Amino acid sequence: MAQKADKIAQNRAKKLRELIEYHRGLYHEKDAPEISDEAYDSLVSELIALEEKYPDLHTPDSPTQRIGGAPIESFVKVKHRVPQWSFDNVFNAEELKDWEAKIKRYLDRETDIRDYSLEYCVEHKIDGLKVVLTYENGVLAQGATRGDGVTGEDVTANLRTIDDIPLRLTKKINITLMGEAWLPQSELVRINKERESRGEPVFANTRNVAAGTLRQLDPKMVRERKLRFFAYDIGIIDSLNENVSNLENQMDELMLLRELGFKVNEHHLISKDTDSVISFYNEWERKRKKLPYGIDGLAVKVNNISLQVALGYTAKAPRYAVAFKFPAEQATTVVEDIVLQIGRTGVLTPVAILRPVFIDGSTVSRATLHNEDEIKRLDVRVGDTVILQKAGDVIPDIVRVLTELRTGKEKPYVFPRKVAECGGNGSIERIPGQAAYRCVFKNSASQQRRKLEYFVSKKAFDIDGFGKKIVEQLMSENLISSFADIFTLKKGDLMELEGFAELSADNLIKAIEKSKIVTFPRFIASLSISQVGEETAEDLSRNFGTLEVLRKARFEELEAIEGVGPIIAKSVTDWFSEAENKKLLDDLLKQIKVLPFEKTETSGKLSGRTFVLTGTLSSMSRDEAKKKIKSLGGDVSESVSKLTSYVVAGDDPGSKKDKAEKLGVKVLSETEFLNLI
């Protein structure tokens, strides 16, 4: 028996409908989206789940039943001869196989077709704007946008400016076909560069530009934007007296479209099973950023047209096709709690505990909130629905709070005065001049565990197989408590522990032995000195050459180094002057060898320039950007000074961008940075 929705579910569904309709209008009718496609899809998915759980919430006018948006008033409305559908989405291999099982059940139960063999035509799902073209006697008669699926907008004059759309076909036939108008990535870079020079806001992505361009009232402007077009489907065809082969499958349609003079995307696959579809998907998920156009997944269609007809449509989508979407980099979820996490230098980082959500290929249940100021900026509260962003290995971020979905029960977060994990009396303090808090007592067990975890990590000593779980296990067994203890471990110590066998114990001991020779920059980074990360460790190593010289460095010498400054200089001198740290170094140096810094002559187009990175880059990770800069002869620093050449500002840049502007340091957008490298 179906469940009936309670007031909480009713209210949530109502708010979701209102918010989805608002963003749908911005996206489809005004080409001015405020949130990403992935975040929008995530809201719709939540509403679908609610309506499935509580059927009484379902209404005929629910946005889950809509396909597109109403046409804007600036263009003549066009009623489509063929209804224009949106595909249902699947997001992983399991869901794709479920879709296949569903269409097999439909064919078996609802049709008389037997002994069929499923074959799939798989194409790139281009991230542009769907266009419907009508040709009469081989001549372009009309071009329209999809609109709401029944009625679109007549944009024929604009479409005539796109070179990929033939004004006359190679055959005199009547045909209505569908395709995608898209903008090359290179054109987006060019257009944004021009807009920046005029002080205008830049476009977020190629899809927005393509959609906005086709709605320009001046075809000359459309021509200047250099849109492209791929044809991919035929709705109605009347071959008249022309010799046109029978269209038995989807691939036949693509071949005919090419024969008629259209550009057809070259990257497609005919597959006998979903396994090869999944392999094709995995291949293009890796390679998609190298394409001149944007794709957000694959279009998977039953190849045989007679089977397409038999499968037909649901109320809102074809049964015979599905969009196999790439992992979303944004999604919506709910903040269930906010906790503090102690870092290796004692700094407290607020972390949002989330309702688990699948994003960018993995299930995420935590997101960093950075510091108290970030919590206030976002106004994020326990119970809030938020947009979460993740790209690759970057720690997930909350980029926006959907305040429209608040019920009034959400709780603001207040930093405590004491945190039990800080040890001692648990007191915390705000770091002078920063938005961060830290433990007053510096050697709590939690903090020491973090230090050891970083010490063995890839960014420091890089001990293969020595992960967080092993650190915690060895600490709990009192086998290690300091850095030096790691290098005194014996095979017998490990063999007594759960999860270790002879081979795994041997491998870890060999990895520890191999790591005993370490470069100077990695060694400095491994010590968890407050304010000293990878780039500062590199700067210190380059300027002082050896550990012996650095240990004796004066405050003035440190402060004078580009990228260091007074705060870092004080932190370094304080660390090396403490008796406890002197002993730590002496004990450690008995076990390992630190190689002196080897200066190499750097050359390249960025030689002599120093970069500071802030915010999130969409085209590459922070580490990839650093490697690229260094490969071209440039330097990367963690802090901004008058000697900094450029600050590269991605999405949600921090205080480094503000400091750069105050000092007159040039700030590069991601687009400008990509042009520079």
Contact call for residues 504 and 461 (beta carbons, < 8 A): no
User: Quick one: CATH architecture of 7-66?
Assistant: Orthogonal Bundle (1.10)
Average pLDDT over residues 465-481: 90
Confidence of residue 645 (pLDDT cuts 50, 70, 90): very high
The pLDDT of residue 282? 93
What is the torsion angle, in degrees rounded to the nearest 10, for the CA atoms of residue 256, residue 259, residue 262 and residue 267? 70
Residue 69 CA, distance from chain mean position? 26
439 in a known ligand binding site: no
| Between residues 29 and 86, the one the model is more confident about | 86
DSSP label at 304?
A: B
The pLDDT of residue 342? 84
* Span 192-248, pLDDT tens digits: 888 888 888 778 778 888 888 888 888 888 888 889 999 999 999 998 778 777 899
| Between residues 277 and 70, the one the model is more confident about | 277
Q: E strands, 452-586, where?
A: 517-519
Contact call for residues 487 and 516 (beta carbons, < 8 A): yes
Average pLDDT over residues 582-598: 93
37 in a known ligand binding site: yes
Annotated active-site residue in 125, 626, 656, 657: 125
Average pLDDT over residues 489-501: 88
Contact call for residues 150 and 68 (beta carbons, < 8 A): no
Confidence of residue 67 (pLDDT cuts 50, 70, 90): low
Residue corresponding to tokens 């798989």: 122
41 in a known ligand binding site: yes
* Span 599-623, pLDDT tens digits: 665 568 888 888 999 887 877 778 7
The pLDDT of residue 564? 83
Question: Annotated catalytic, 628?
Answer: no
Is the pLDDT reported for residue 119 higher than 80?
yes
Region(s) of the chain under CATH 2.40.50.140: 330-430
**Superfamily classification of domain 89-325:** DNA ligase/mRNA capping enzyme (3.30.470.30)
Is the pLDDT reported for residue 297 higher than 80?
yes
180 in a known ligand binding site: yes
* Main-chain phi, psi angles of 444, to 5 degrees: -70, 160
483 in a known ligand binding site: no
The pLDDT of residue 29? 61
Average pLDDT over residues 572-600: 91
The pLDDT of residue 286? 87
Region(s) of the chain under CATH 3.30.470.30: 89-325
Average pLDDT over residues 400-412: 94
Characterise 13 by phi-psi region: left (phi > 0), alpha (psi -120 to 50), beta (else): alpha
Q: Which residues on neighbouring strands pair with residue 456, listed in sequence order?
A: none
The pLDDT of residue 2? 66
Region(s) of the chain under CATH 3.40.50.10190: 610-676
38 in a known ligand binding site: yes
Tokens of 73: 């008033």
> Which distant-in-sequence residues (6+ apart) come within 8 Å of 531 by Cβ?
345, 567, 568, 571, 572
Is the pLDDT reported for residue 317 higher than 80?
yes
The pLDDT of residue 97? 95
Q: Is 489 exposed, middle or buried (0-12, 13-18, 19+ CB in 10 A)?
A: middle
Cβ count near 182 (within 10 Å): 27
526 by DSSP, 3-state: which?
helix
Confidence of residue 672 (pLDDT cuts 50, 70, 90): confident
Q: What is the CATH number of domain 610-676?
A: 3.40.50.10190
Confidence of residue 179 (pLDDT cuts 50, 70, 90): very high
Tokens of 646: 């450029």
The pLDDT of residue 58? 81
The pLDDT of residue 582? 93
Q: What is the CATH number of domain 330-430?
A: 2.40.50.140
Nearest CA to 362 out of 636, 92, 60 is that of 92
The pLDDT of residue 105? 94
What is the torsion angle, in degrees rounded to the nearest 10, for the CA atoms of residue 615, residue 127, residue 103 and residue 59? 80
Per the prediction, the chain carries an average pLDDT of 88
Region(s) of the chain under CATH 1.10.287.610: 7-66
515 by DSSP, 3-state: which?
coil
What is the torsion angle, in degrees rounded to the nearest 10, for the CA atoms of residue 620, residue 625, residue 631 and residue 637? -170
Nearest CA to 182 out of 125, 135, 235 is that of 125
Is the pLDDT reported for residue 303 higher than 60?
yes
| Between residues 30 and 172, the one the model is more confident about | 172
* Span 1-60, pLDDT tens digits: 568 888 999 999 999 999 998 987 787 667 678 888 889 889 988 998 898 899 888 877
Q: Which amino acid is at 477?
A: E
Tokens of 619: 């085209």
Q: Is 287 exposed, middle or buried (0-12, 13-18, 19+ CB in 10 A)?
A: exposed
* Span 549-562, pLDDT tens digits: 999 999 999 988 87
* Span 646-669, pLDDT tens digits: 999 887 787 788 888 888 899 998
Average pLDDT over residues 131-143: 94
Which range of 21-35, 498-512, 556-570 scores highest in mean pLDDT? It is: 498-512
* Span 318-374, pLDDT tens digits: 999 999 998 877 889 999 999 988 888 888 889 999 999 888 767 888 898 988 889
Nearest CA to 413 out of 335, 526, 299 is that of 335
The pLDDT of residue 66? 63
567 by DSSP, 3-state: which?
helix
* Span 408-465, pLDDT tens digits: 999 999 888 888 888 778 888 888 877 788 888 877 888 889 899 999 999 899 999 9
The pLDDT of residue 182? 94
Confidence of residue 379 (pLDDT cuts 50, 70, 90): very high
**Superfamily classification of domain 445-595:** 5' to 3' exonuclease, C-terminal subdomain (1.10.150.20)
The pLDDT of residue 603? 67
